[in-house]
Amino acid sequence: MLRLARAALYTVIPAELLLAVLLVSGVSLPAPVLLLAEAVVLGVLALEAATAVRLYRAARGQGSDRRSALLSTVDRLLPVTVRKVMEFELKGMASLVLWVARRRHGVPQGATAVPYSREQSTTILIMLFVMVVETVGIDLLLVALDVPAPVRVTVLMLDLYGIGFGLAFAAACVTRPHVVTGDELRVRFGAYFDLRIPRELISSVRVARNYNETGMIQVSDGRLSVAVGSQTNVVVELAEPITVTRPLGRRETVTSVRFFADTPSMVRLQGA
C-alpha cells in the first residue's frame, strides 16, 4: 500500500500541475475531463490519508509518542529526496522574506556572522539579468510566431520559476551565513547545507586557499569541501570524525572541513 501511495502521488502531482497550466492558459476542457481529473485527485488524497493513518497507528502501536509517530509517518510516506527538495523550496521562500526584511537566519546575539556570498554575487546578478532578458525575448518570439497560448504560458511559468529560484538562491546565501559562537562553528551553504561543529571537536582552524574545488559540496577521502566559485579558504581540522548530511540526504563521515568565507580571518580569530 505504501508503494502504491508513493506511485500515485508522483503521477498525480505532475498531471494536476499540467491541468492547472492549461486552465490558466484559457484552454476550455470538457466537463467530463475536469470531473474525472478531480475524482482522481480526490481518490489519491484518500489513498494518501489512509496510508498515513495506517503508518501513524503502527508507529503509535510500537510505543512512539505523537510527534515521533507523525515524523515517522512523513519519513516513510515521502522519500528523503522529495522531502529535501520541498525543504529547499520552503527555505528559499523564507530567505526571500528575510532578505527583504534585512534579517539573517540562525545568528544569535553575540555570535559572529561570517558571510560567503560576495564572491558569487556578481555572477548571480549577471545570471538573473540574462534570465530576465531571455524570458522577455522568448515570450515576444512566441507571440510573433503565433504560438498557442497554452505553450506560451507554460514556457513563461517555467522561466519565471527559474528567475524565482535564482533570487531564492541568492537570498539564502546572504541570509544564512556561516556562524561562530562560543559553542560551535556552523558551516552553511544557502538553504542546501548546514553543518554544526562543536568547538570541542575542532583541533585547528587555518587559512588555506584552494581555487580548484570541483563542486559546491563534495566529500573525498574524509574531507568535506563547501566551495563558492570553486574556492575554499578556511580549513578546519577535527579531533575526531563527525557525520555530515549532504543536500539530498546522503550521510558521510569526515575528519576535516574546507569552506569559503569572504573574510577568512573572522573564522581564524574566533576559531580554536
- Residues 104 and 40: their CA atoms lie apart, in Å, by 43
Give the residue among 52, 41, 42, 47 at the shortest CA–CA distance from 74: 52
Q: Is the pLDDT at 154 greater than 70, yes or no? A: yes
Q: To the nearest whole percent, how much of the chain has pLDDT over 90?
A: 45
Those residues whose C-beta lies under 8 Å from the C-beta of residue 68, and which sit 6 or more positions away, are 59
77 compared with 142, residue with greater pLDDT: 142
Q: Are 171 and 88 in contact (CB under 8 A)?
A: no
- Which pLDDT belongs to residue 67? 86
- Residues 213 and 218: their CA atoms lie apart, in Å, by 9
Q: Per-residue pLDDT tens for 244-255?
A: 999 988 899 999
- Give residue 112's identity as a one-letter amino acid code: T
Residues composing the chain = 272
- Mean per-residue pLDDT for 113-131? 91
198 compared with 158, residue with greater pLDDT: 198
- Mean per-residue pLDDT for 241-245? 95
Single pTM value for the model:
0.75
- Which pLDDT belongs to residue 193? 95
Q: Per-residue pLDDT tens for 72-91?
A: 887 777 777 777 888 888 99
Between strands 251-259 and 223-226, the pairing is parallel
Element housing 198 (H / E): strand 193-198
- Which pLDDT belongs to residue 269? 47
